[in-house]
Amino acid sequence: MLFVNLKTYQQGTGVDAINLVRILESVAHEAQVKIIPVVQASDVREISSFSKLEIWVQHVDWVEYGAHTGFILPEAVFEDGAIGTFLNHSEHKFKDFKELEKAHQRATNVGLKTLVFAADLEELRKLIYLKPTYIAYEPPDLIGSKTISVAQAKLEIINKVVKITNLHDVPFIVGAGIRSAQDVRKSLGSGAVGVAVSSDVVTAKDPRKEILDLVEGFR
């Protein structure tokens, strides 16, 4: 499975979120690879109204119905059509573990699947006890890298991640700097069930070309 995080820098490329999801959907269909667009909360309703792909949201908060200005209520994105949510992405951390734990509980209770990010082994060892739908290993220093991917630079750590995730029976995803079929192949070969990508696709002049290359790694 291929999570494509539609970070906000996509605007510069001329392909907006709607059109990018249309491209992802046609490639998913052609290649028969599960592609999951991960979008901003404000785009969930519109995108899930036309796309048959699983649409995920980039973040939800821990809040309940009540006086909470500007927070993302898990119920709201679920009702808009989100199937799952990222949590603890290194670009959107919670104040502390308690808040993350509560947000994870809230997301799960409303029926959202969850993918929780860990930046290193220490964090992963702690977060695995949340029993998320997926856990991701994503070293922040390689996010957005154009030259080196997690699959190239962190194979030793990935091998340790596999041991932990297997022990706890939580499928794991790998991400950061992924930009080729070879990166995908290496990640899957190491035991990951999928990858998370962003800049390679979202900032591309020709996103279809990039995504077609990435899905080759699943063959």
Please identify the residue of the shown chain whose CB is closest to the bound ligand G3P. Answer: 199
Site string for ligand G3P, 24-63 (x = CB under 6 A): ----------------------------------------
Query: Are 178 and 216 contacting, i.e. CB atoms less than 8 angstroms apart?
Result: no
The distance of closest approach from Cβ of residue 117 to ligand G3P in the complex, given in angstroms and rounded to an integer, is 7
Q: Which helix (H) or strand (E) holds 116?
A: strand 113-118
Q: Which helix (H) or strand (E) holds 2?
A: strand 2-5
Q: Does 211 bind ligand G3P (CB under 6 A)?
A: no
Residues 125-184 that bind ligand G3P (CB under 6 A): 138, 143-144, 175-178
The distance of closest approach from Cβ of residue 57 to ligand G3P in the complex, given in angstroms and rounded to an integer, is 12
Which residue's CB is nearer to ligand G3P, number 80 or number 210?
A: 210
Q: Does 10 bind ligand G3P (CB under 6 A)?
A: no
91 is a catalytic site residue: no
What gap in Å lies between CA 64 and CA 87, rounded to an integer?
17
Could you count the other beta carbons within 10 Å of the beta carbon of residue 5?
22
Structure tokens at 189: 């070969």
Can you tell me whether residue 15 is helix, strand or coil? coil
What gap in Å lies between CA 115 and CA 83, rounded to an integer?
11
The distance of closest approach from Cβ of residue 114 to ligand G3P in the complex, given in angstroms and rounded to an integer, is 14
The distance of closest approach from Cβ of residue 182 to ligand G3P in the complex, given in angstroms and rounded to an integer, is 15
Pairing of strands 134-137, 113-118: parallel
Q: Does 81 bind ligand G3P (CB under 6 A)?
A: no
89 is a catalytic site residue: yes
* Candidate list 54, 80, 183, 200; residue touching ligand G3P; CB under 6 A: 200
Q: Give the angle subtended at the CA of 207 by the CAs of 205 and 212, to the nearest 5°.
A: 135
* Candidate list 73, 119, 197, 211; residue touching ligand G3P; CB under 6 A: 197
Number of residues forming the site for ligand G3P (CB under 6 A): 14
Query: Are 7 and 202 contacting, i.e. CB atoms less than 8 angstroms apart?
Result: yes
Query: Are 78 and 111 contacting, i.e. CB atoms less than 8 angstroms apart?
Result: yes
List residues binding ligand G3P (CB under 6 A): 5, 89, 138, 143-144, 175-178, 196-200
> Which residues are known catalytic residues?
89, 138
